Amino acid sequence: MSALFEVKNVRKSFGSNLVLDDVSIDFPARSATVIIGASGSGKSTLMRCMNLLEELGDGQINLNGLDISAYGVDIDAVRSQIGSVFQAFNLFPHLSVLDNITLAPRLVQKMKKEDAETLAMSLLSRFNLADKAAEYPNLLSGGQQQRVAIIRAVATNPKILLLDEVTSALDPVLIAEVLNLISELKSEGMTMVIATHEMGFAKKIADRVVFLHHGRVHESGSPSEIFDNPKTQELKDFLGALHQAGRL
C-alpha cells in the first residue's frame, strides 16, 4: 500500500543552481510531516513542486498512487485536491471573508451559493471567526487573515494541506491562534505538510520531521530522533543555531 502522497526522486534546478537534489519523501494519510531547514535549503521550492506550481526537473509526485506530475495531467483538477497556504496570506482584497472562502467551492466545485456559504459559515464559526464573515481582509489582524487563508484552503475539502511558513509574518500571540487552528485540523485527520521555523510547534504536531540541507533530505525521523538525537553534524549545527537564536 503506497502512501497518500509521494515525492519520488524529485530534482529541480534554476539555471545552474541545483535546488532540489533527488528528494524522496512519503506522506501517509492523516499524518503531519514537518519540513525544517535553513533558508535556501529548498523547503519552499519543494512545497511549490508539490502543488505543481514549479515544473519538476526530474522525478515524480504521486497522489493516491496516481502520477500527477506526468505530462498531460489536468493540473487544475489536481490542485483542487491539494490545499496550499503561504507566508503572505494572499487573501483577495476585493472580496469579503465569506466570498474569499466560497470562491473556489462555487467556481471549481460548482457548489450552489447557499451551500458554499453554509459550509463557509460552519468553518468560520468552528474557528471563532463567524463575526468576521462580512469583513474585508484589510480590516483583519494578520493572525485572522492567515486563519481565513487556511479555512479557504480547506473549504474545497483537499486530500492534503501544504503550509509553507504560514506563521513567519506574525507576532507570537497571533502565531498561537494560527497554530491552534492547524492542531485542530490535524486532530480531525487532515494530512498535512508543514514547512516552519517554529520548532516547539514542530515537536508537538509532527509525526515525522524531515531536515532538508542543500536540497537533499539530510535526515528524517520522529521529532525526538531529530531534535534530541541529531545524527549528522549539519543537523546539529542547524539546531545549535536555532538554539542560539532562542528559537528552540
User: What are the DSSP calls for 129-197, one per residue?
Assistant: -GGGTTS-GGGS-HHHHHHHHHHHHHTT--SEEEEESTTTTS-HHHHHHHHHHHHHHHHTT-EEEEE-S
The only residue of 28, 59, 142, 221 in contact with other proteins, by rule CB under 8 A: 59
72: contact with other proteins by CB under 8 A: yes
Q: Which is nearer to other proteins, 33 or 69 (CB)?
A: 69
Enumerate residues 150-169 that contact other proteins by CB under 8 A: none
CB of 58 to other proteins, least distance (A): 4
- Residue 32: strand, helix, or coil: strand
CB of 246 to other proteins, least distance (A): 27
**Binding piece for other proteins, criterion CB under 8 A, among 53-61, 144-152, 180-188, 200-208:** 53-61
CA 126 vs. chain centroid, Å, equals: 20
**Binding piece for other proteins, criterion CB under 8 A, among 23-31, 70-78, 134-142, 200-208:** 70-78
Query: Using the 8-state DSSP alphabet, how is residue 113 labeled?
Result: H
CB of 44 to other proteins, least distance (A): 8
Q: Could you tell me which residues come within 8 angstroms of residue 148 by beta carbon, excluding any fewer than 6 positions away? A: 89, 91, 97, 100, 101, 129, 132, 137, 140
9: contact with other proteins by CB under 8 A: yes
57: contact with other proteins by CB under 8 A: yes
CB of 135 to other proteins, least distance (A): 22
How far apart CA 154 and CA 224 sit, in angstroms, is 29
Task: Kindly write out the interface string for residues 108-127 of this chain, putting x where it contacts other proteins by CB under 8 A and - elsewhere.
Answer: --------------------
CB of 95 to other proteins, least distance (A): 18
The only residue of 3, 29, 60, 95 in contact with other proteins, by rule CB under 8 A: 60
According to DSSP, the β-strands at 17-27 and 5-14 are antiparallel
According to DSSP, the β-strands at 216-221 and 82-85 are unpaired
* Cell representation of residue 45: 521550492
- Under 8 Å between Cβ of 61 and 50: yes
- Burial (Cβ within 10 Å: 0-12, 13-18, ≥19) of residue 39: exposed
The only residue of 2, 30, 40, 53 in contact with other proteins, by rule CB under 8 A: 53
207: contact with other proteins by CB under 8 A: no
44: contact with other proteins by CB under 8 A: yes
- Contact set with other proteins (CB under 8 A): 9, 11, 44, 53, 56-60, 69-72, 90
